[in-house]
Amino acid sequence: MRAKTIFSIVAFVVFVVCPFAAIADSKHQVNCKGLPTEIELKELLIEAGELPNAGGLFSGTRMWGAVVNRDGEICAFATSTTDPKDVWPGSQAIAKAKAYTANAFSLDTLALSTARLYTFTQPGHSLWSLGQSNLFDPQFLAPTGGQGGGKNQIVGGLIFFGGGVPLYKDEKIIGGLGVSGDTSCTDHEIAKRVRDLAGLNPPGGALVDDITYSSVDGASVFTHPLCVNTFRNGTSIGTEPPAAGY
């Protein structure tokens, strides 16, 4: 008798409750107000890459970009190229995770680019292993061609190197932008340019959460290593040192 009762409950949940839950979920309205659409994001990525001196391997011209709202839901993602296959496939997940990270750890009063979280999350520092707290969900990846892939979903993922910046409107945070497809330093430069072109800078201006480098600006908990062919705000500042000791 007890087994039949349990079976009845399970059947009720599967055949009655679950369909209603799916319908409710499908009607969930994602708030992307004030954030770039997919078309706008693509145009912004192209324009940012056409500006001179982004550095890196491709001068910031082969990029994935992603935008999330304040709840971390993906509002838009696009590539700067006509064919998404011209951008590293792995950069799609990284861009989405950077957008999620920049939004997740910024406030109205504190803009934190992913570049500024680099040192905090290294071994021996106070946020080591933070990246394990919210892993990226690969079921929300789009195919290489870019169709589908997590729109309106929270994909998670935490990335702690350059390329993610929070987005603001009227001095309030409204989401995050992630960019990937070059060195992490160039990713940051393009993300910073896109945010500025879109008019979504934080209080204090476009450079309030800019990337800093220990070898150039002095060591601090907010610094980031140099990359290959590193430029910052149009000026060359060095390159990543060669490997040593192995």
- Cβ atoms of 142 and 69 within 8 Å: the answer is no
14 found inside a domain = no
pLDDT tens digit sequence for 85-127: 999 999 999 999 999 999 999 999 999 999 999 999 999 999 9
Q: Which of 31, 111, 115, 45 is nearest to 77 (CA)?
A: 45
Distance, in Å, from the CA atom of 145 to the CA atom of 79, rounded to the nearest integer, reads: 10
In this model, does residue 45 exceed pLDDT 50? Answer: yes
Percent helix, strand, coil in the chain, to 5, is 35, 15, 50
Tokens 């060591």 belong to which residue?
219
Q: Which of 79, 70, 84 is nearest to 33 (CA)?
A: 70
244 found inside a domain = no
Distance, in Å, from the CA atom of 126 to the CA atom of 194, rounded to the nearest integer, reads: 31
Distance, in Å, from the CA atom of 208 to the CA atom of 203, rounded to the nearest integer, reads: 8
Confidence of residue 29 (pLDDT cuts 50, 70, 90): confident
Percentage of residues in the chain having pLDDT higher than 70: 88
188 found inside a domain = yes
Run of H or E residues at 94: helix 91-104
10 found inside a domain = no
Owning domain of residue 210? 38-238
What is the domain-level CATH number for residue 157? Answer: 3.30.450.150
29 found inside a domain = no
16 found inside a domain = no
pLDDT of residue 245: 73
In this model, does residue 32 exceed pLDDT 60? Answer: yes
Q: Please state the domain count of the chain.
A: 1
* 12-19 mean pLDDT: 46
- pTM (2 d.p.): 0.87
106 found inside a domain = yes
208 found inside a domain = yes
